[in-house]
Amino acid sequence: MSVSTLQSTSASASVEDARAALTFDRTVPRQLVHRASVTEVFLTDGAPVAADRFLVGAQWPRHHALYHPDPSGRCDFMLLAETVRQAGIFLLHRYYDVPLGHHFVFKSLDLHIDDLDALRMGGTPLGAVLDVTVDATAASDARRFDARLDMTIEADGRVCAYGSVAVVVVDARRYEAVRHRGRDIVGGTTAAPAASGTPATAAPTTAPVIAGRQDANVLLRTATDADSSTWLLHVDLRHPGYFEHPSDHVPGMMLLEAFRQAGHLTAARDCALTALQARFLSFGELFQPIVIRSATGPEGLLRLTAVQGERALAEADALFVRN
CA neighbours within 13 Å on the CB side: how many for 239? Answer: 20
Tens-digit pLDDT profile for the chain (323 aa)?
444 344 434 444 589 999 999 999 999 999 999 999 999 999 999 999 999 999 999 999 998 989 988 888 999 999 999 999 999 999 999 999 999 999 999 999 999 999 999 999 988 999 999 999 999 998 877 789 999 999 999 999 999 999 999 999 999 999 988 787 654 455 444 444 444 445 555 444 445 556 556 567 889 988 756 677 899 999 999 999 999 999 999 999 999 999 999 998 888 667 899 999 999 999 999 999 999 999 998 888 999 999 999 999 999 999 999 87
Query: How many angstroms from the chain centroid is the CA of residue 116?
Result: 19
The per-residue pLDDT for 188 is 43
Please tell me the predicted confidence (pLDDT) of residue 178.
Answer: 77
Compute the distance between CA of residue 35 and CA of residue 12 in angstroms, rounded to an integer: 33
User: Residue 307's pLDDT is what?
Assistant: 97
Alpha carbon 167 to chain centroid, angstroms:
11
User: Which pLDDT value is given to residue 45?
Assistant: 97
Instruction: Give the pLDDT score at 290.
Output: 97
Predicted pLDDT of residue 225? 61
pLDDT of amino acid 186: 52
Give dist(CA 186, CA 190) in Å, integer: 11
How many other C-beta atoms are found inside a 10 Å radius of the C-beta of residue 142? 13
Cα 17 to chain centroid distance, Å, stands at 29
Instruction: State the pLDDT at residue 33.
Output: 98
Shortest CA distance to 119 belongs to which of 272, 270, 256, 254? 272
Q: How far is CA 210 from the centre of its chain?
A: 19
**What counts of helices (H) and strands (E) characterise the chain?**
5, 12
**End-to-end distance of the chain based on CA atoms, in angstroms?**
45
pLDDT at 212: 57
